[in-house]
Amino acid sequence: MTKIRSTAMSRTVPWKLLAAALALIALAGCGSQSKSSASLEGSKEAIALYNARCISCHASDLSGKVGPDSDLRTVGSRMTKEAIAKQITNGGDIMPAFASKLSADDIDKLADWLSKQQ
């Protein structure tokens, strides 16, 4: 994924605000997070972490709920494991940082699992 910030910035601001609002709604409104994550395959530990921390924004099938940038279905073909770990650690434009919420080991498990989603 390439972000062309300089040219697209003014156009993307309303979208970012909308996405932020949707993210808040997703966080506030999503009580039951254990629904249909049965389609996810791979490390059970990583999937448990994903279900606990990420599903509210990235959806039970990884398709993403807060815009195209939150679609993780083929994230492993766009980002290295290291880049994914960095995104989880530091967060993004909208995504919160997990540096203080997850251990380095948990972040590594998530990054390893996501890097296999291609």
- State the residues that interact with ligand HEC by CB under 6 A: 1, 19, 23, 27, 53-54, 56-58, 66, 69-70, 72, 75, 78, 84, 87-88, 92-96, 98, 110, 114
Tell me the C-alpha to C-alpha distance, in Å, between residue 90 and each of 34, 38, 69, 102: 26, 28, 16, 11
Shortest reach from residue 38's CB to ligand HEC, in Å: 19
Shortest reach from residue 44's CB to ligand HEC, in Å: 15
> By C-beta, is 36 or 106 nearer to ligand HEC?
106
Shortest reach from residue 41's CB to ligand HEC, in Å: 16
To 5 degrees, how large is the angle CA 104–CA 105–CA 110? 95
CB 88, CB 110: distance < 8 Å: yes
